[in-house]
Amino acid sequence: MRRAVGQFLSVFLSMGALELRVRETLAVMLSLAIIIAVVVAFGVTTVFLDPAGREKLFPAAIWICFILNAAVSLGRSFEYETEHRLLDGLLLAGVAPASIFISKALVNFVVLSVAHLTGVVALGMLLGVSIAAQSTDFIIISVLVVLAYSALATLVAALTTGSRLRNALLPIILLPLVLPLFFCGVELTTQLALGESFSLGGAWGQMLIGLAVLYVGLGALLFESVVRE
């Protein structure tokens, strides 16, 4: 158990340090987060919605920006590891595939969370909408959605990394699979925006928790088969 934990921490810190050195995925995500927020905000303001209308549209706009940004930006996930055969080295060193998957998923989770926060702040400023009063509940929703998305995207990115069309294949495969997450995020965030009572014990909350557990579990189980093909 101690050895497995040590392997996981070592791989996680190594992949995190690699991401900080390369900085390609994070830079692309932050840039896209701002660009998409500007485009969406411009589209909303051109239809002359009043403040109440903007508040109702804000939850959907948040998650549309996140889903589009993440699906496009994560196309480079595993690219550096594959080109330099780092995954092969880790597997030959006896590191458990599940540890590699969870480490990479958590690194993607951190990067996606930073980009998501940037997009929410930019979109809120441009639309003049704030959810600061419900920030704690929104953070809980965001953590679950981003965690589930990171796990699924990491698995799909590993599946497509050997293809020359991986940057195009990843969004095509990923977007239909994350629609349930999108609906959960929109429904729960809309509850907050409308001042309704929020609880993860409701149907949408339970669905979101179930998806997060499912995607993380499936990723850990299937990652070995994906990377060894």
The pLDDT, as a whole number, for residue 219 is 87
% of the chain residues with pLDDT over 70: 73
Radius of gyration of the chain, Cα coordinates, nearest whole angstrom? 18
Neighbours of 204 (CB within 10 A): 19
The pLDDT, as a whole number, for residue 144 is 94
From the list 130, 135, 122, 114, the residue with the least C-alpha distance to 41 is 122
Hey, what are 228's tokens?
């060894």
What are the tens digits of pLDDT across the range 23-69? 666 777 788 888 888 888 887 776 666 777 777 888 888 998 898 88
What are the tens digits of pLDDT across the range 144-196? 999 999 999 888 887 777 666 666 677 788 888 889 999 999 999 988 877 77
Hey, what are 200's tokens?
């993860």
From the list 38, 36, 111, the residue with the least C-alpha distance to 77 is 111
Rounded to 5 degrees, φ, ψ at 128 are: 70, 35
Residue 22 clears pLDDT 60, i.e. is over it: no
- Which range of 9-23, 54-68, 90-104, 124-138 scores highest in mean pLDDT? It is 54-68
The pLDDT, as a whole number, for residue 27 is 76
Is pTM beyond 0.75 here?
A: yes
From the list 206, 93, 212, the residue with the least C-alpha distance to 144 is 212
Stretch among 67-71, 89-93, 119-123 having the lowest mean pLDDT = 89-93
Average pLDDT over residues 101-120: 87
The pLDDT, as a whole number, for residue 45 is 73
Residue 128 clears pLDDT 80, i.e. is over it: yes
The pLDDT, as a whole number, for residue 227 is 67
CB 174 within 8 A of CB 152: yes
The chain-wide mean pLDDT, for the chain, equals 79
Average pLDDT over residues 204-220: 91
3-state helix/strand/coil string of the chain: CHHHHHHHHHHHHHHHHHHHHHCHHHHHHHHHHHHHHHHHHHHHHCCCCCHHHHHHHHHHHHHHHHHHHHHHHHHHCCHHHHHCCHHHHHHHCCCCHHHHHHHHHHHHHHHHHHHHHHHHHHHHHHHCCCCHHHHHHHHHHHHHHHHHHHHHHHHHHHHHCCCCCHHHHHHHHHHHHCHHHHHHHHHHHHHHHCCCCCCCCCHHHHHHHHHHHHHHHHHHHHHHHHHHC
Average pLDDT over residues 90-107: 77
Residue 129, phi-psi category: left (phi > 0), alpha (psi -120 to 50), beta (remainder): beta
Average pLDDT over residues 4-21: 63
CB 86 within 8 A of CB 80: yes
Let me know how long the chain is. 229
d(CA 68, CA 42): 17
